[in-house]
Structure formats: structure tokens, C-alpha cells
Amino acid sequence: MTMKQFTYAIAMSMILIILLLTVNKDFVSASSASRQQVYNDTIDSAQYLKSAPASVQMYYYIKQYSSEYEIPESYAFGIAYQETKYQGPLHFSYNPGLSSNAGAVGPMQIMPSTANGLCKHSVNIHRLKTDIEFNVMLSMKLLRRLYDKYENWGLVFGAYNTGRPCINQYALNVLNKKYFWIYN
């Protein structure tokens, strides 16, 4: 087994363990004590997730929050790629802490003013830039609000990108993105 294959196997095992620990918090036939243990394990796995590589965190949080906010996963991953060139859970060189010339920050490139509006209070820019979960959650929340307003994914992606509803090249790129995850 080569080092690349070994790294791939370890990363996929880590993703599987994290997903298994967090998928089902309550078992119908389990006792209260068993359910409490599953809940405690879930909390522990969330702490481990924070120390996982940024690419693994992105994968997990995009799946979690796209489901919660009813955003098609392919579109959520498309936004992540368009904003910071995220290329999957094994993209170990991924840098989520980017800032744009326009002032957008973090993995999904949220504008601080937009974050303040979504949270209804002042949001720390450092948190937007470094807290992957928070940034992804805000992005999915924004996408849901935009979709509820425009009811057209193309217009939503244009608005996410420019601040106004339009179908631009960015929107077309997200709508048509095909995934070929990297394995390095």
C-alpha cells in the first residue's frame, strides 16, 4: 500500500466514524441511559471534528447544513468550490480562511454585513474567517432565504455572488458543476 492510499484510507475511515457517531442520536428501542450515551458520544465526536482537517470539516458541515436548510448538496458544494476552490474531504491543502477583495471572508465567503443581518447582532470577522461550521451554517441560511425570496436557484446564486438576483457566469458554474474530488 502506498502512502497516498494509506492516507486516503485513514481519511475515509475518519469521515465514516464521524458520520456514524452523529447520524442517529435516538434509537427507538434504546433505554434512556443508552440514548444519553449516544448523545454524549455525539458531543465527543463534534469536539474531534473541530480538530479534523479543514477539508473534512467542510464536507461534514456542508452535508449537515445543506440538509437542515434544504439546499441541494450539489449546489452547496458548488458554492464552496466557486468561493474557495473546495475540492472534497481529501483536499488536505484546502485553505478555508480566505478573504476577497470585496471583503467576504471564510470558506463560503460571507460578507460581514450579511452575517450581521442573518444573526441580528454584530459578528466577529475573525470567527467568520476561522469557524468553518459557523460560516457554512450562515451560508446555507442565506441560500435558504434567497431561495424563499426568488424561488429560482439561478437567481439565488447570482444574488449570493453579486447581491442582486441575476443569472451570471457564477450562477451557471454552480448550476452545472460536476464533482471530481481530489485525492491528495
How many percent of the chain have pLDDT more than 70? 72
Q: Tell me the three state secondary structure of residue 110.
A: strand
Task: Tell me the mean pLDDT in the region 4-30.
Answer: 57
Q: Is the pTM of this model over 0.85?
A: no
pLDDT for 40 = 55
Q: How many CB atoms lie within 10 A of CB 21?
A: 18
Options 3.30.429.10, 1.10.530.10, 2.40.170.20, 3.20.20.10; CATH of 57-184? 1.10.530.10
Give the pLDDT score at 3: 73
| Alpha-carbon gap, residue 17 to 2, rounded angstroms | 23
3-state secondary structure of 108: coil
Taking all residues of the chain, what is their mean pLDDT, rounded to a whole number? 85
All structural domains of the chain with their residue ranges: 1-52, 57-184
Can you tell me the mean pLDDT for 33-54?
67
pLDDT band at 51 (very low <50, low <70, confident <90, very high): confident
- Once rounded to an integer, what is the mean pLDDT over residues 120-130? 95
State the average pLDDT over residues 17-43: 54
End-to-end alpha-carbon separation of the chain, Å? Answer: 15
Residues 81-115 have pLDDT tens digits of: 999 999 999 899 999 999 999 999 999 999 999 99
